[in-house]
């Protein structure tokens, strides 16, 4: 995974004032989460994920995506369940020892995104797919997260003002990491499925 490329693509996406639009959206998402004690956070992230993925596909930011979770109540419930189950797993791991909590986070961080994009699968399937997707990439993702440490230091130096830029940039870059990883995994799956066929032809 080329972390530099992933981050540059995120920077390019939020150019020309789009970062401010995303910042306002993130503020609203945070406000909704606070007012509902965090219960609606995964629902808001549902719409945000679809909107950002759409932007990477060349579309304008579409607020209609935030209404998508309400089109299928069962799907929305599964996204909520995956989100909070992941948080619970990470919390338990952190309470035991900090390192297991970090490892669990790296394993299941993509589960809610997988659940958003695959309404037909079950809750445990989403967790299992995230574990498989992150296999071999947990350290890479950890380093990717650490690469933003300079930005977080700037937030402290600027008394929070740098967060206006960092919040949209980080969320978009994190989503882009998922998109790149999904592409890598899909390509690897195609190669693996083609290998037996090629072997039979040789025989």
Look at residues 26, 165, 52 and name the one whose alpha carbon lies nearest to residue 117: 52
Q: Is residue 92 part of a domain?
A: yes
Q: Round to whole Å and give the CA distance between 1 and 5.
A: 9
- Looking at the domain assignment, is residue 202 inside a domain? no
* Residues contacting 40, CB < 8 A, separation 6+: 32, 33
Instruction: Please indicate, yes or no, whether the overall pTM of this predicted structure exceeds 0.75.
Output: yes
Does 57 reside within a domain? yes
- pLDDT tier at 72, thresholds 50, 70, 90: very high
Number of structural domains found in the chain: 1
203 within domain boundaries: no
More confident site: 37 or 108: 108
User: Which spans in the chain are helix H?
Assistant: 3-13, 18-35, 41-56, 73-96, 98-108, 111-117, 123-134, 138-146, 149-157, 163-202
Indicate whether 36 pLDDT > 70: yes
Q: Which residues constitute the domain of residue 108?
A: 3-197
Q: Is residue 167 part of a domain?
A: yes
**Is 114 part of any domain?**
yes
Residue 49 lies in a domain: yes
Q: What is the pLDDT of residues 127-158, one digit of tens each?
A: 999 999 999 999 999 999 999 999 999 999 99
The SS3 of residue 136 is: coil
């Amino acid at each position: 995974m080329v972390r530099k490329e992933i981050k540059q693509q995120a920077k390019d996406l939020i150019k020309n004032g789009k970062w401010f639009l995303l910042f306002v959206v993130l503020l609203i998402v945070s406000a909704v989460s606070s007012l509902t004690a965090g219960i609606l956070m995964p629902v808001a992230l549902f719409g945000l994920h679809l909107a950002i993925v759409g932007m990477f596909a060349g579309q304008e930011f579409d607020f209609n995506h935030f209404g998508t979770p309400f089109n299928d109540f069962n799907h929305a419930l599964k996204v909520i369940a995956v989100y909070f189950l992941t948080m619970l797993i990470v919390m338990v791991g952190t309470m035991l020892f900090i390192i297991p909590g970090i490892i669990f986070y790296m394993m299941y961080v993509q589960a809610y995104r997988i659940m958003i994009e695959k309404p037909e699968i079950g809750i445990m399937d989403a967790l299992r797919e995230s574990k498989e997707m992150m296999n071999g990439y947990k350290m890479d993702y950890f380093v990717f997260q650490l690469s933003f440490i300079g930005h977080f230091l700037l937030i402290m130096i600027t008394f929070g003002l740098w967060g206006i830029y960092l919040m949209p940039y980080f969320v978009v870059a994190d989503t882009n990491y998922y998109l790149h990883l999904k592409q890598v995994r899909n390509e690897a799956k195609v190669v693996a499925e083609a290998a037996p066929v090629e072997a039979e032809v040789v025989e």
